[in-house]
Amino acid sequence: MFGPQSSLVMYDEEYQRILSILEKMLRESNSKVIFLVDKNGQLIAATGETANLDTTSLASLTAGNIAATGGLAKLIGEKEFSILFHEGEKDNIHISIVGGRVILVVIFDQRSSLGLVRLRVKKTSLDLAGVFEDLAKKAMAQIAAAGTASASPFAEITDDDIDNLFN
Amino acid sequence: MSFINYASREINCKIVYYGPGLCGKTTNLQYIYNKTANDAKGKMISLATETERTLFFDFLPLALGEIRGFKTRFHLYTVPGQVFYDASRKLILKGVDGVVFVADSQEARLDANIESLENLKDNLAEQGFNIEKIPFVIQYNKRDLPDLTSVDELSKLLNERKVPELEASAMTGEGVFETLKAAAKLVLNDLKKGG
Ligand SMILES: Nc1nc2c(ncn2[C@@H]2O[C@H](COP(=O)(O)OP(=O)(O)OP(=O)(O)O)[C@@H](O)[C@H]2O)c(=O)[nH]1
Ligand SMILES: [Mg+2]
């Protein structure tokens, strides 16, 4: 059922858990911004100094970056590169894959360090992987209960609803 | 693959514009970007060569409004059409919810259209999509130019599945929103079925 066509679904409970995990990591690593992106470029959650940041663009480019390096990895016979690190003059960006499906992005400056970020990323990844396992179970349970994959709030939409979007 | 977020009450879908080099994919997105109100769009990102050919992708996030209390967001992507960028095209197709195939109506580009459509089929199949089922629309672009293949002929050659097909001139904007709307409709209807 979990082919490429199935949706990623996020519920309030798991979203709050994710957010508090990210907030904890932000404090413990002294970083500036942390966000979580789905491998297809959809932003899942963000915390820290996000006010002046175009998180939608960041999410899309991060996913593109991971996709491109994943392509490179395959070409040389690696499964994937699970960590990417870019060093800037002031800010650095640490990108890692969590649970095979989502991408954890940490932006930090000299108040933190690569060593500290690495350490915290390891712990955070484990915590996040737990939440995503729970999400997957929930989705399975929904499908089993409904007999189909249609736990979607869109099951009842009409053509008029769709037409109205474009007016 | 759409993303339904109950926490923020949002739904995100991904539409990819596919087609041969220079058929007008980027021009479609640029027109949409230019004609959309600021509060309904994000920044358009174009990863392009110095000669404005798409190198990796164009990206345009759109917010179309609400359905049943859910904000509907569409992420529009274009692929690079030049033949040798095939590895990048495969990456962009990951997690796609709907495809717009932009055909170049000029006679001289007929073979390029057919080749690109074959390439799309191969790449979708490789990602595990069912080519007969994925939301799909075809745009016959550049209808403003001379020496065109007729729409009947194009339809016969490119539209086996009899999906929605639209004539367009992306440079003037004719047919651009109609195409997007047709694709968005199919994608939302697909979600309705519990895709
Ligand atoms: N006359 C005319 N020109 C068009 C139309 N659409 C696009 N063009 C022109 O065709 C050229 C290529 O358009 P792009 O949108 O960059 O093409 P593309 O499909 O993104 O090309 P790649 O990025 O290489 O895959 C540009 O010079 C456009 O101005 C159209 O409807 N009519
Ligand atoms: Mg282009």
ipTM: 0.83
Report if residue A142 sits inside a domain: yes
Domain count, chain A: 1
Between these two residues, B25 and B65, which has the higher pLDDT value?
Answer: B25
Report if residue A138 sits inside a domain: yes
CATH of the domain at A30: 3.30.450.30
Q: Give tens-digit pLDDT for A2-60.
A: 344 467 889 999 999 999 999 999 999 999 999 999 988 899 999 999 998 999 999 99
Q: pLDDT value at position A4?
A: 44
Residue A69: DSSP 8-state: H
Q: Give tens-digit pLDDT for B175-193.
A: 999 999 999 999 999 888 7
Q: Do B20 and B79 form a contact (C-beta atoms < 8 A)?
A: no
Average pLDDT over residues B82-90: 93
Q: 3-class DSSP state for residue B60?
A: strand
What would the two tokens of residue A53 be? 């940041």
Q: Atom 30 (ligand 1): residue with closest C-alpha?
A: B142
Helices A55-75 & B86-93, crossing angle to 10 degrees?
Answer: 130
Q: pLDDT value at position A155?
A: 75
Q: pLDDT value at position A5?
A: 46
Report if residue A34 sits inside a domain: yes
Contact A162 B4 (CB under 8 A): no
What would the two tokens of residue B158 be? 């490119």
Q: pLDDT value at position A148?
A: 53
Q: pLDDT value at position A152?
A: 62
Q: pLDDT value at position A1?
A: 29
Residue A20: DSSP 8-state: H
What would the two tokens of residue B75 be? 């992420």
Q: Please provide the average confidence, as pLDDT, over all residues in chain B.
A: 94
Query: Which member of B64, B87, B191 has the closest CB to residue A165?
Result: B64
CATH of domain B3-190: 3.40.50.300
Q: Atom 32 (ligand 1): residue with closest C-alpha?
A: B142
Mutate to test the interface with B, among A10, A14, A20, A42 (most CBs of B within 10 A): A42
Q: 3-class DSSP state for residue A81?
A: coil
What is the domain range of residue A58? Answer: 12-148
Closest among A167, A156, A56, A9 to B65, alpha carbons compared: A167
Q: pLDDT value at position A142?
A: 77
**Pure H helices in chain B:** 25-34, 86-93, 110-126, 151-158, 176-192
Report if residue A5 sits inside a domain: no
Q: pLDDT value at position A136?
A: 87
Q: Do A49 and A31 form a contact (C-beta atoms < 8 A)?
A: no
CA distances from B52 to B15, B24, B48, B75 (A): 21, 12, 5, 21
Domain-by-domain residue ranges, chain B?
3-190
Q: Please provide the average confidence, as pLDDT, over all residues in chain A.
A: 88
Integer-rounded Cα radius of gyration of chain B = 16
CA B169 to ligand 1: nearest atom: 31
pLDDT higher than threshold 60 for residue B30: yes
- Distance (Å) from the C-alpha of residue A12 to the closest C-alpha of chain B? 4
| Residue B7 sits at the chain A interface (C-beta within 8 Å) | yes
Residues in a beta bridge with A37 = A43, A103
Task: Count other Cβ atoms within 10 Å, centred on residue A36.
Answer: 24
Q: Do A86 and A92 form a contact (C-beta atoms < 8 A)?
A: yes
